[in-house]
């Protein structure tokens, strides 16, 4: 397996990362810990979480798992800050007070003395980026954070942070974590070329398009049991569209023709797209994790890439995976 450099940093990571949004919601702790161990054994060395996943329980499970297996030194812990963690006016966002407090709380839950990659879960349009970067720089200088990144931000906002860090001498983003899959390719228009030009790694989330690309959904109005759209509703349900389901069905046929599962092909497609460092896989069960792992050694050939481009042209979208980002004003036709 070839490890990939994360942006302009000295860090190398496996071409898949373990996402933990399902830990404790609904994956039980015992199974989650087994998944952590199996992922490390397979060579995955970045585990991604957030202080908002299951009200912090995802971080706690990761912390307990790494304490029990003694493998903290083998992995990079990535987590995030932004969403509210309490009722107070300073219990959310990207201001100094919240970032410093949230980092201390995450360190306790993770049972570690440092976070390897601390990411802004969303941009904050009310707090000056100078304040945010200054707080993150203080955490790096204190040894509590190694690197910083962002998630689900517009290209211009990431670029603003890069320029301010250059001008002010503050710590610099090494990565961006956007939504990206065959159904929503809009990051290819600006974000991907910006990251390639300025040396940021890309760690996409939702490569399976919530299972739409695996043929999980047959009807945009009736969701299968235990699907994310059925379990969580809201923005998750909004992502399931008739157009997306149509493409998903054609994608399943393409995967059958290629001789791999649609799940594996969906992740492989993201993994081997230009500019991508490593997509996040978010297995709910141990069986799902095992099914993902062969993708670590797979390569996407040009013929399959071209067939995918025919389903959804580069830079376009048939489902909205940016619907958790208020800055995305573009509405897709039904």
Active-site residues, by number, are 53
Residue 184: phi, psi to the nearest 5? -135, 95
In whole angstroms, give the CA distance from residue 82 to residue 121. 5
Distance of CA 114 to the CA centre of its chain: 20
State the maximum Cα–Cα separation within the chain, in Å, rounded to a whole number.
54
Which of these, 235, 234, 182, lies nearest to 204 by C-alpha position? 182
Q: How far apart are CA 25 and CA 269, in angstroms?
A: 27
Cα separation, 122 vs 117, whole angstroms: 15
| Cα–Cα distance measured from residue 52 to residue 262, given in angstroms and rounded to the nearest whole number | 30
Give the distance, in angstroms, between the CA of residue 133 and the centroid of all CA atoms in the same chain.
21
CA dihedral defined by 84, 85, 90, 94, rounded to 10 degrees?
A: -60
Give Cα 9 distance to the centre of its chain: 18
**How many other C-beta atoms are found inside a 10 Å radius of the C-beta of residue 207?**
27
């Amino acid at each position: 397996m070839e490890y990939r450099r994360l942006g302009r940093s000295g860090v190398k990571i496996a071409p898949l990362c373990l996402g933990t949004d399902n830990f404790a919601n609904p994956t039980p702790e015992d199974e989650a810990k087994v998944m952590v161990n199996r992922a490390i054994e397979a060579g995955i060395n970045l585990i991604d979480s957030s202080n908002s996943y299951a009200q912090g329980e995802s971080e706690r499970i990761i912390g307990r798992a790494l304490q029990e297996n003694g493998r903290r030194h083998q992995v990079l812990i990535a987590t995030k800050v932004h969403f509210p963690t309490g009722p107070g006016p300073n219990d959310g966002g990207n201001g100094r007070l919240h970032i410093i407090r949230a980092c201390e709380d995450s360190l306790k839950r993770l049972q570690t003395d440092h976070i390897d990659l601390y990411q802004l879960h969303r941009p904050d349009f009310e707090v000056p980026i100078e304040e945010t970067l200054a707080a993150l720089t203080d955490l790096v200088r204190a040894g509590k954070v190694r690197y910083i990144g962002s998630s689900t931000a517009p290209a211009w906002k990431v670029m603003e942070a890069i320029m301010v860090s250059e001008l002010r001498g503050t710590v610099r983003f090494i990565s961006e974590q956007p939504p990206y899959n065959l159904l929503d390719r809009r990051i290819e228009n600006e974000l991907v070329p910006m990251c390639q030009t300025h040396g940021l790694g890309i760690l996409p989330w939702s490569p399976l398009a919530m299972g739409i690309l695996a043929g999980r959904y047959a009807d945009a109005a009736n969701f299968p049991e235990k699907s994310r759209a059925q379990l969580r509703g809201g923005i998750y349900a909004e992502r399931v569209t008739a157009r997306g389901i149509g493409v998903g069905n054609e994608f399943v046929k393409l995967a059958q023709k290629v001789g791999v599962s649609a799940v594996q092909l969906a992740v492989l497609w993201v993994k081997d797209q230009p500019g991508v460092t490593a997509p996040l896989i978010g297995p709910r069960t141990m069986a799902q994790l095992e099914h993902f792992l062969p993708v670590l050694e797979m390569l996407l050939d040009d013929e399959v890439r071209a067939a995918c481009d025919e389903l959804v042209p580069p830079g376009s979208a048939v489902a909205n995976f940016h619907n958790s980002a208020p800055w995305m004003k573009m509405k897709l036709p039904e």
